[in-house]
Amino acid sequence: MSKYPNLLKPLTLGGVELKNRVFMAPMTRGRGPGQIANEEVAKYYAQRASAGLIITEGVHPSKQGVGWLNVPAIFTDEQEEAWKPVVEAVHAKGGRIFMQLWHQGRQAHSDFHDLQPVSASDVEIENSDGLYTSKGKVPYEKPRPLTLDEIKETIEDYRKAAERAAAAGFDGVEIHAANGYLPDQFLQSKTNKRTDQYGGSIENRYRFLDEITEAVLTVLPKEKVGVRLSPNGTFGDMGSPEYRELYLYVATELGKKKLAYVHVMDGLGFGFHELGEPMTLKEFREVLPKETVLIGNVGYTAETAEKAIANGDADAIAFGRPFIPNPDLVERFANDWPLAEPAAPPTWFALDPEKPLSANYTDYPAYQQ
Ligand SMILES: Cc1cc2nc3c(=O)[nH]c(=O)nc-3n(C[C@H](O)[C@H](O)[C@H](O)COP(=O)(O)O)c2cc1C
C-alpha cells in the first residue's frame, strides 16, 4: 500500500480518466531554438508521461507575446506541426497533455520582435533585474496600452492558438492568467489603469480574461479548458490590495463556465505579496462547482499534497521543480523511492549555446534500484 493513496488515485478530468493526481506544472525550459518544438522536447515530456496530466511550458500564441529565449511557440503552421510528435510521444506512453497559452504582455521585449511590449496600461515593471534576450540580460521596457481593436486581435490570437493546439492533438489548453502575464495585467489594479470597459471595476478588469476564455471555448469544449491564477504572488512585480475580492470573483465567474479545471498557485514559495492573509485552496473550492477540478501548486511535497487531497482542499497537485530532475516522480512517490537532488536554477534554462539541448533536460535518469 502506497503512503499516498489519495494522491495516486485516478481522477476524471474533462470526461477522461487520469492515472493519478500528480500533475506536472508548466515550466519554461527554453529548449526550442527557432521557437520550434523538436525531438528533445518530445523526449522530455514523454519521459514524464506518468504524471496524471502534463501542462506544457508556456507557449506563445503570438509574436507580440514573446519575451523568453528559445520557447517553442504556436502561431505558425510550422510551429503547430512541430508540436504533433510531442503529443504523440506522450500519448504513446499513456500520458495526457494540455498546452499552456502564454502572452507575456509587459514581460515581453522588443528584442524578440521589434515591437514595443503591450499591457493593460503603460505601467512599467519595477523591482526586477531584467530578462534574458539575444543581447544578454537587459531591463524591461515601458509597455503601451492595447487599443480596443488590438484587444480583439489578441483574443483572436488566443482562439487561433487553441485551435492549433487542438489540431496538434493536445488534450486541452490552459490559459495562463497568473504570474503577472498579460491576462493578469488586466485583472490587477496594480497594472490596469484603464478607464474603458476593460478597466476600473473588478468586473471590467476581468472582461479580457472572460473574452479570451469564451473565444477558446468556441474551438474547444469546456472539458478541455483550464485557467491558471496566482492570487498570492509577486512574480512579475505583481500584488494588488483587492486580491481576495478579485480572485474570488474571477473563480466564481470561471466556475460558471464549468471548465475542466482552475489551477491555483496557493503556496507562497514563488513570492508572496504580503498584502494580507494568503488565499487558500479552501476559499477557491467553496466558489467552484464540483465538476471543476481544483489544482493546487507551489512548494508541495508528496506528504502535503496527499493531505490537501485527502481533506478535500484540492483534487490534484501540480509539481514543478521536482519534475525537473525526477522524470519518474510518480513512480518515486508510489514506491517511496528517494528524490534526486533539486536542479540548480542556472540549469533550468539553456542559456549556454555550447551545451547540447539534452543537458539538464532529458539526461536525468529514472530511479535505479
Ligand atoms: C524553470 C521554471 C519555469 C517555469 N515556467 C513557467 C511557465 O512557463 N508557466 C507557468 O505558469 N509557470 C511557470 N513556472 C512556475 C511553475 O509552474 C510552478 O508554479 C513553480 O515552480 C512552483 O511549483 P513547485 O514548488 O512545485 O516548483 C516555472 C517554474 C520554474 C522553476
- Report yes or no on 169 lying in a domain: yes
Q: Please tell me the predicted confidence (pLDDT) of residue 354.
A: 86
Q: What is the pLDDT of residues 307-325, one digit of tens each?
A: 999 999 999 999 999 999 9
Pocket of ligand 1 (CB under 6 A): 25-28, 57-58, 100, 102, 176, 178-179, 228, 265, 269-270, 297-300, 319-322, 348
Going by CA atoms, what residue is nearest to atom 21 of ligand 1?
320
Grid cell of 208 as nine digits:
479580457
Ligand 1 atom closest to Cα of residue 349: 1
Range of 295's domain? 11-347
Q: What is the pLDDT of residues 269-298, one digit of tens each?
A: 999 999 999 999 999 999 999 999 999 999
The alpha carbon of 320 and the centre of ligand 1 are apart by a number of angstroms equal to 5
Residue 243 designated active-site: no
| Alpha-carbon dihedral sign for residues 42, 45, 47, 49 | negative
Q: What is the pLDDT of residues 145-181, one digit of tens each?
A: 999 999 999 999 999 999 999 999 999 999 999 999 9
- Report yes or no on 190 lying in a domain: yes
Q: What is the pLDDT of residues 232-252, one digit of tens each?
A: 999 999 999 999 999 999 999
- Report yes or no on 354 lying in a domain: no
Name the pLDDT band for 127 (thresholds 50, 70, 90).
confident
Ligand 1 atom closest to Cα of residue 265: 19
Closest CA to 121 of 232, 240, 34, 15: 240
Buried b (16+ CB within 10 A) or exposed e, 233-255: bbbbbbbbeebbebbbbbbebbb
- Report yes or no on 356 lying in a domain: no
Q: Do 323 and 24 meet the contact criterion of CB atoms below 8 Å apart? A: yes
Q: Indicate which CATH number applies to the domain containing 211.
A: 3.20.20.70
Name the pLDDT band for 328 (thresholds 50, 70, 90).
very high
- Report yes or no on 358 lying in a domain: no
Q: What is the pLDDT of residues 249-272, one digit of tens each?
A: 999 999 999 999 999 999 999 999
Question: Would you say residue 369 has pLDDT above 80?
Answer: no
Q: Please tell me the predicted confidence (pLDDT) of residue 78.
A: 98
Q: How many domains does the chain have?
A: 1
- Report yes or no on 193 lying in a domain: yes
Q: What is the pLDDT of residues 21-51, one digit of tens each?
A: 999 999 999 999 999 999 999 999 999 999 9
Q: What is the mean pLDDT of residues 173-190?
A: 98
The alpha carbon of 301 and the centre of ligand 1 are apart by a number of angstroms equal to 15
- Report yes or no on 117 lying in a domain: yes
Q: What is the pLDDT of residues 61-113, one digit of tens each?
A: 999 999 999 999 999 999 999 999 999 999 999 999 999 999 999 999 999 99
Q: What is the pLDDT of residues 338-359, one digit of tens each?
A: 999 999 999 999 777 789 999 9
d(CA 313, CA 110): 42
Q: What is the mean pLDDT of residues 51-60?
A: 98
Q: What is the pLDDT of residues 206-221, one digit of tens each?
A: 999 999 999 999 999 9
The catalytic residue among 4, 140, 158, 181 is 181
Name the pLDDT band for 2 (thresholds 50, 70, 90).
confident
- Report yes or no on 302 lying in a domain: yes
Q: Please tell me the predicted confidence (pLDDT) of residue 15.
A: 82
DSSP string, 227-269: EEE-TT--TTT---TTHHHHHHHHHHHHHHTT-SEEEE---ST
Going by CA atoms, what residue is nearest to atom 6 of ligand 1?
27
Pocket test for ligand 1, best of 184, 321, 324, 333 (most atoms within 8 A of CB): 321
Q: Please tell me the predicted confidence (pLDDT) of residue 125.
A: 97
